[in-house]
Amino acid sequence: MLIASFSTGPWETNCYVIAAAERSACVIVDPGPDSAAVVETIVESQGLTPAGVLATHGHLDHIAEAHTLCDTYRIGCWIHGADRHLLTDPVAGLGPTMAPLVEQLLGTTTLPEPAQVHEVVDTDRLTLADLQFDVRHAPGHTPGSVLYELANPGVGPEAPDVLLSGDVLFAGAIGRTDLPGGSDEAMRHSLADVVLSVDDSRVVLPGHGLQTTMARERRTNPYLAHSYLT
């Protein structure tokens, strides 16, 4: 499996390009500000063919260049329906006080929606680029936040089972719940019912910061402790 990652934009958001092998189809996850040019370089250098964009949620730092990549490569964008409006109205996910910053970053406060948008729901299984992604709805950071569990594509034991956790789970932390649409109560339920059900073998690729493992987070993340969840 090939997983190329880089951080981009003022919030240092992690963008991932994932393929079963070199010179094959690939999936782009969370293309934030200034990510398109880097994605294009990775795609060209590895001989990849983009097959789709996955958004873990609709915040600007995760979808700013979804429309650019989707329309350039004529591919679809997959996002939970509860966050779909954020593809075109990024201020709605950040609050009106952030409108000047959004305009500074984009030159506008709105974005065009990708030509092809597909809404995901809990328990969906997506087959893209010879990879399978299981969708786990995990609201709290945003109403439409999801985890994508990537099953081992069968290209060898070196290919790990991966969890793309977006801004639900970080190494030693979780996503904030104080932005519009956020909910501390929903996040606690998502952590208890969804995140803690993830197998310890999963390598966690978060929306920000360093990768971790589910086993490590279960042992050390204070937000997964019983005292926090109850």
CA distances from 25 to 29, 39, 49, 152, 154 (A): 14, 13, 4, 16, 15
Owner of token pair 């937000």: 223
pLDDT at position 22, please? 87
Q: What are the φ/ψ torsions at residue 161 (nearest 5 degrees)?
A: -80, 130
- Based on its alpha-carbon atoms, the radius of gyration of the chain, rounded to whole angstroms, reads 17
8 A C-beta contact, residue 151 and residue 137: no
Q: Which fold has domain 2-229?
A: Metallo-beta-lactamase; Chain A (3.60.15)
User: Alpha-carbon torsion 163, 168, 173, 175, what sign?
Assistant: positive
Angle between helices 36-46 and 66-73 (to 10 degrees): 40
The segments of the chain whose pLDDT lies below 50 read 154
pLDDT at position 154, please? 47
pLDDT tens, residue by residue, 115-124: 999 999 999 9
8 A C-beta contact, residue 48 and residue 75: no
Q: What are the φ/ψ torsions at residue 188 (nearest 5 degrees)?
A: -60, -40
Alpha helices in the chain (DSSP H): 36-46, 60-63, 66-73, 91-94, 99-106, 184-193, 214-220, 226-229
8 A C-beta contact, residue 175 and residue 141: yes
Q: Give the separation between CA 100 and CA 102, rounded to whole angstroms.
A: 5
Q: Give the separation between CA 193 and CA 118, rounded to whole angstroms.
A: 25
Q: Which amino acid is at 40?
A: E
Question: CB-side exposure of 142: number of CA atoms within 13 Å?
Answer: 27
pLDDT tens, residue by residue, 149-169: 997 654 555 556 899 999 999
